[in-house]
């Protein structure tokens, strides 16, 4: 499942061009996140002061449909519309998380370079954080709720052939 997540910035005046993030929420990533949430819950039972855990993670691809405005009129491959038009049609600003086709790709000139990519694990969700290149602030995706992670992990179980013994 490929999803686009809305991104916010710790700097109220600048987001470093990181408007959105593209994430391939594959079953193995969802299962990894669920395992990390389970570990956090176990740790919370031992130490009630633990709140969230940070892991290095390079899963999210940050982008802006308004970066490189000279090329913003290019159509997203196979859609017949520009990235900006597609995001408007998907109502990403209101929904904050939208599913896109597996073939969806962000044009390379609209991808924003970031560093220090992290997955932040909370008791009932995860978020992704990064620092835009040459910036001194963080950007963060909206939370991916536990229910969405469980649904993505379940697609692995339903699509994996089961061996039966007689």
Please give the chain's pLDDT, 166 residues, in tens.
999 999 999 999 999 999 999 999 999 999 999 999 999 999 999 999 999 999 999 999 999 887 654 444 555 554 556 667 777 777 777 789 998 888 888 888 889 999 999 999 999 999 999 999 999 999 999 999 999 999 999 986 555 444 333 3
pLDDT of residue 136: 94
pLDDT of residue 74: 55
pLDDT of residue 68: 59
Report d(CA 120, CA 110) in Å as an integer.
25
pLDDT of residue 101: 87
pLDDT in tens, 124-158: 999 999 999 999 999 999 999 999 999 999 986 55
Name 147's Cβ contacts closer than 8 Å, sequence gap at least 6. none
Radius of gyration of the chain (CA): 17
pLDDT of residue 52: 97
Name 85's Cβ contacts closer than 8 Å, sequence gap at least 6. none
pTM: 0.81
pLDDT of residue 107: 85
pLDDT of residue 71: 47
């Amino acid at each position: 499942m490929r999803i686009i997540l809305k991104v916010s910035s710790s700097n109220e005046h600048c987001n470093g061009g990181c408007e959105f993030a593209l994430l391939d929420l594959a079953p193995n990533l969802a299962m990894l996140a669920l395992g990390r949430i389970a570990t956090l819950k176990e740790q919370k039972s031992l130490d009630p002061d633990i709140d969230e855990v940070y892991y290095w993670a390079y899963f999210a691809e940050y982008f802006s449909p308004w970066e490189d405005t000279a090329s913003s009129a290019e159509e997203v491959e196979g859609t017949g519309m520009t990235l900006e038009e597609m995001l408007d049609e998907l109502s990403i600003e209101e929904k904050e998380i939208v599913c896109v086709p597996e073939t969806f790709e962000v044009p390379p000139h609209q991808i924003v370079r970031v560093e220090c990519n992290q997955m932040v694990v909370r008791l009932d969700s995860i978020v992704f954080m990064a620092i835009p290149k040459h910036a001194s602030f963080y950007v963060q995706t909206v939370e991916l709720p536990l229910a969405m992670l469980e649904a993505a992990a379940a697609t692995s179980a339903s699509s994996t052939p089961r061996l039966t013994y007689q």
